[in-house]
Structure 1
């Protein structure tokens, strides 16, 4: 493992130094004072004394110590996340200046909807990690909208507009358009709708739980709109679950085309009411507003946009 310097103050107004932060992070990541100290070329005693000074300076306990293991306190967990970010930002700043450190390092944490992650992001990650081999990536596949700052994500990929009053920055990767789909087995049992109003006689597979609207806003090629909100409803919080339910003949789905293109091509699903579709939805990479965008985030954003333009 690369040896790290254990000097240099964090700021003119702080008695902390980067070496102390590195010792704390190394102890947490390795799970012991012995291993953490060894990773930085220190004895267990030196690592322990550095931690004692750090806790005394902060006025709080960061680590629980037993004879068998070391674990973080609640304050320790909060401080650890900030320390990791500080050290990663420092390495990226250094890499921006030094010609002999071109590779971004650290961990890139991404949250992406389950469907878009499976179909688009995971295949892209293969080439991304081959190019930037010193990066680690954590991917959260969930349709839940995460809090980027509170949950420590570098960026998320969301389908649809973000609120106008949001403090987040968004960059559009591409657009998706939803249409209506059902399986051949479902249509054989219940018939194919000829008009949007016929959907009130079908079971609709609806995205969103609780107080979310169950309406589907359809637009014709001429631009006129019609809202469908009726019929039996089976509700989900996952686009993938809706797709699977449609494939099993459980109802009519309203999904972005990228999620079901392969199913339509293979005949597993049939597109309904071809003259009607939903409004085009932006697929956006969203990240917290910062004066300087981290190199690892910038590389991922630029790379995914380029990947989608070429494929």
Structure 2
């Protein structure tokens, strides 16, 4: 027996006070309606309806059960309505995980613009460096670098690539001659990302085709781009950072590019938007995915600092 359907049928019988009218209202035959009520009475081991050849009436148990059915079906209708709205209108809590190095520089403006368009969505943000399993850890969407997500079932939308540059403060370079070749970095104080982010070996390519590989032992290493930038601004030495992280500093002259004719190889990072599956994606997740992709395509501030990738 379909208990919910039986409850709906019985409630219609109770409210119309007739098997025939209930059958007509529900588009069922009299026999089917009668059968549902009989199955309910067997299931409950209680008479719900008094029947005569001319009329029916509810027993005391029938009145009580009809009230209960009404409450249950009203609650189900409310839940279904809420779920249907959430499927079409972005709302609820969006759980976002993002790579920390990007987030500390560029995530807040993105979220500010998104929240202005979708104020009913609450944002719960977690910043991580480590690999993450979106499904097991309960995240709706992630902004991640390669290696953070191992699952092949994730949908991946490329957002942008970041390119590293070597920089130092103007005051550091006043007392330390700027390196002319990559191997000259060995004589400088090197501020490095920690070994779990990049090895001590760096490869450089010149515009004229020359290439150099240098092993640099850092005097200072940290797993956070913000702290590396702060160390460079504090005149501690030369570091290598994503270009977008220091774009403002370079424009203001507080940091200066070193080895400007050399490109750093094998250190580009592509950030992607990932989320589980294409089917039954919630409205909040779909709205965030579409908004974020369009945000970086449009180059909204400070997205113009990031180079969009169509690959």
TM-score normalised by length of structure 2? 0.62
Q: What is the root-mean-square deviation of aligned Cα atoms in Å?
A: 3.1
Matched, 1:120 2:106: yes
Q: How does 1:132-151 map to 2 (within 5 A)?
A: 132-151=118-137
SS at match of 1:194: coil
Residues 190 and 237 in structure 2, CA contact (< 8 A), matched pair in contact too:
yes
Residues 92 and 104 in structure 1, CA contact (< 8 A), matched pair in contact too:
no
Deviation at 1:215, TM superposition (A): 2.1
Matched, 1:260 2:260: no
Residues 204 and 233 in structure 1, CA contact (< 8 A), matched pair in contact too:
yes
Per the alignment, do residues 169 and 251 of structure 1 end up closer, same or farther by CA in structure 2, a change over 3 Å counting? farther
Partner of 1:297: 285
Matched, 1:228 2:208: no
Deviation at 1:165, TM superposition (A): 7.0
Per the alignment, do residues 104 and 210 of structure 1 end up closer, same or farther by CA in structure 2, a change over 3 Å counting? closer
Deviation at 1:95, TM superposition (A): 3.2
Matched, 1:283 2:259: no
Per the alignment, do residues 229 and 293 of structure 1 end up closer, same or farther by CA in structure 2, a change over 3 Å counting? farther
Partner of 2:69: none
* Whole-angstrom CA distance in 1 between matches of 2:292 and 2:176: 41
Deviations 1:238-283 (A, max 9, x none): 1111111111111211111110000111111101111122344312
Partner of 2:233: 247
Partner of 1:157: 143
Deviation at 1:198, TM superposition (A): 0.6
Partner of 1:95: 85
SS at match of 1:150: coil
Partner of 1:182: 168
Partner of 2:159: 173
Deviation at 1:193, TM superposition (A): 0.6
Residues 128 and 300 in structure 1, CA contact (< 8 A), matched pair in contact too:
yes
Residues 154 and 276 in structure 2, CA contact (< 8 A), matched pair in contact too:
yes
Partner of 2:95: 109
* Whole-angstrom CA distance in 2 between matches of 1:90 and 1:260: 49
* Whole-angstrom CA distance in 2 between matches of 1:189 and 1:90: 70
Mean CA deviation greater in 128-137 or 231-240: 231-240
Bigger Rg, structure 1 or 2: 2
Gap regions ≥5 residues in structure 2: 6-78, 300-311
TM-score normalised by length of structure 1? 0.62
* Whole-angstrom CA distance in 2 between matches of 1:218 and 1:106: 47
Partner of 2:10: none
Which structure has more relative contact order (CA 8 Å, sep 6+)? It is 2
Deviations 1:73-131 (A, max 9, x none): xxxxxxxxxxxxxxxx978862377xxxx421211111223342233221121221121
Partner of 1:308: 296
SS at match of 2:115: helix
Residues 177 and 277 in structure 1, CA contact (< 8 A), matched pair in contact too:
no
